[in-house]
Amino acid sequence: MNHVVLLGDSIFDNGAYVRRGEPDVVTQVRARLPRGGQATLAAVDGAVTANVAGQLSRMPPDATYLVVSVGGNDGLGNLSVMREGVRSVAEAMERLSAVREAFAADYRRMIDAVLARRLPVAVCTIYNARFPDPQEQRLVLTGLAIFNDVITREAFARRLPLIDLRLICNEPDDYANPIEPSAKGGDKIAAAIVQATAGNTTLPRSQVFAE
């Protein structure tokens, strides 16, 4: 029987952000799974990539599929770098390259720890967020492109399914606030998770889930 475990941050652990009485992502996954399917929330609001290895200790022994959504908080932690003044485009690129290399190392270590459990794994991109200030939104999107490049490269290099949240949460009301999914956005995320985890896990190839 399918038992999906959700690892990562508040993209999955969004219960504190949906309206009173509305379901969080794990509840929506449970509602969409075929009869007998289960879902466990191991993700923690505020987690960064380096925290996922510790979340694996809460993985149930009968887990059959792991889904990881992490990296957004790593990106937010580097917003100060995006705001720094520089003397040239080359200097800006050098600073961004250092951020990318540090995140890539953390993400590779995280994926290695997750794959060590020898279960099927799907990973998610970081969605675009919805900051009300257009300049802030442009800054965030540009910065997140660096992080998403790392995630997509690791997914494709390891032949993992990729849930592209940038294309799934594509409407303003998919967000409860600038960086958290609403119940509507969570339902769209849950639908993609169920679609991804229901596929043939023996095929040595990546698939992208966008709706």
- The CA dihedral of 146, 163, 153, 77, to the nearest 10 degrees, is 30
Residue 82's pLDDT band, with cuts at 50, 70 and 90, is low
CATH C-level class of 3-209: alpha beta
Q: Which residues contact 3 (CB under 8 A, 6 or more apart)?
A: 37, 38, 39, 40, 60, 62, 63, 64, 65
Does pTM surpass 0.85? yes
Question: Could you read off the pLDDT of 29-42 as tens digits, one per residue?
Answer: 999 999 999 999 99
HSE-CB for 2 with a 13 A CA cutoff = 24
What residues does each domain of the chain span? 3-209
Look at residue 22 in the predicted model and tell me its pLDDT: 96
pLDDT tier at 100, thresholds 50, 70, 90: confident
**Is residue 105's pLDDT more than 90?**
yes
- Give the per-residue pLDDT at 63: 96
In the structure, what pLDDT confidence band is assigned to residue 142 with cuts at 50, 70 and 90? confident
pLDDT at 25: 98
- pLDDT (tens digit, 9 = 90+) per residue, 166-210? 999 999 999 999 999 999 999 999 999 999 998 655 556 678 887
Residue with the larger pLDDT of the pair 207 and 148: 148
pLDDT given for residue 64 in this prediction: 95
Reported as a pLDDT band with limits 50, 70 and 90, residue 139 is: confident
Share of the chain above pLDDT 70, in %: 88
**pLDDT bucket at 88, cuts 50 / 70 / 90:** low
State yes or no: pLDDT of 65 exceeds 60. yes
For all residues of the chain together, what is the average pLDDT?
Answer: 89
